[in-house]
Amino acid sequence: MGNIKLGATLFCYGTEYARYQYDFEECVRQAAMAGAQGYEIVGTQMLPSYPNVSEEFLGLVQALKVKYGIGPVGYGANNDKGLLSDRNLTDDEMLADAILDLKAANKLGCKVMRVQYMMSPEAFGRLAPYAELYDVKCGIEIHNPETPASETIQAYLDVIKKTGSKYLGFVPDFGFLSVAPNRPKWLKALQIGVKEEHLQMAAQFRRDGIPMEEAQKQLFAAGASPAIMDNLAGMYGFVQFHDRKDLPDLLQQLKDIIPYSFEMHCKFHYLGDDGKEASIPYEDILPVVAGSEFDGYLICEYEDEMYSGGTEFTKRLIALEKKILG
């Protein structure tokens, strides 16, 4: 039997935070009110003394845990390979920066750190002894357009198996299980005058595996507005989606990777009044997790394409998780 806990990344409230509508305390309070049992903090977003955790901030985190009953359980790291103006960071440098992130995660009491695949599999492998020292499990984020079976992710799996460390693994983001076009991007396109029929055409090209350049050519030939390009780039990029008939295969990929997963991210972009995510089929995904041995947090993660703030949608997503998981 597994042990699923529900959490939220404070990134859900990124828009409210950037607009000074919420301070750090308000983000924690909202996550608690939405039903989160713990939260993820993205260091570059909310650590006032990034990359370090100051005593003052740690005091605040601990006080808020007493006040609202929830504390940090996951640390979202950024692996800034492009930090220098003239060259990429080397593996040695990426490793050194990731160790600093481990220190921050450890000080905050987080047992899991989400690592981006900017860090090479080789450097990630070298992180294992440090992760063990700090007692923080490091998971490579599996983010759309990658899937567990994709070549990039399999290279990390090879390293994980080779090190044999229980401290290296994955943090799958369910965005990779999208089976319909991204709803907010669709609505935004309609708002700026793109016709629905052209969006339908674009989505079908994507499902049919037509290359983006060819899709673009055919859309323009059919009289589509040039404003469709942002949407098209999304469909072939970070918010791409699969044909629904591929879902069983993708869910199998998820099952295969769960034994290596420390935390999973319930990505969401839009929940309608029916309480369902418009493109990610949670009613199919969550039973797979519930039927596994997964022991950790499902962290809900709102990506605010509409700059509308995440407060309401985060409540809806956690309610949806509870409804499905029972």
Binding site for another protein (CB under 8 A): 11, 14-15, 17-20, 42, 44-45, 48, 50-51, 78-88, 116, 118, 233, 304, 307
Q: How far is the CB of 20 from another protein (least distance, A)?
A: 7
User: Which residue's CB is nearer to another protein, number 118 or number 179?
Assistant: 118
Q: Are 8 and 36 in contact (CB under 8 A)?
A: yes
Residues 6+ apart with CB under 8 A from 247: 177, 179, 281, 284
Q: How far is the CB of 101 from another protein (least distance, A)?
A: 12
User: Which residue's CB is nearer to another protein, number 3 or number 85?
Assistant: 85
User: Which residue's CB is nearer to another protein, number 71 or number 234?
Assistant: 234
Q: How far is the CB of 53 from another protein (least distance, A)?
A: 13
**Phi-psi label, residue 108: left if phi above 0, alpha if psi -120 to 50, beta otherwise:** alpha
Q: How close are the terminal C-alpha atoms of the chain, in Å? A: 15
Rounded distance, CA 63 to CA 321, Å?
Answer: 28
User: Which residue's CB is nearer to another protein, number 87 or number 245?
Assistant: 87
User: Which residue's CB is nearer to another protein, number 20 or number 274?
Assistant: 20
DSSP SS3 for 5: strand
Alpha helix positions (H), 127-242? 128-134, 151-163, 183-191, 196-207, 212-221, 229-235
Q: How far is the CB of 293 from another protein (least distance, A)?
A: 31
Q: How far is the CB of 272 from another protein (least distance, A)?
A: 23
Rounded distance, CA 53 to CA 230, Å?
Answer: 38
Q: How far is the CB of 278 from another protein (least distance, A)?
A: 21
User: Looking at the DSSP assignment, which residues form a beta bridge with residue 112?
Assistant: 74, 137
User: Which residue's CB is nearer to another protein, number 52 or number 200?
Assistant: 52
User: Which residue's CB is nearer to another protein, number 301 or number 321?
Assistant: 301
CA atoms within 13 A on the CB side of 232: 25
Q: How far is the CB of 326 from another protein (least distance, A)?
A: 34
Amino acid of residue 130: Y
DSSP SS3 for 142: strand
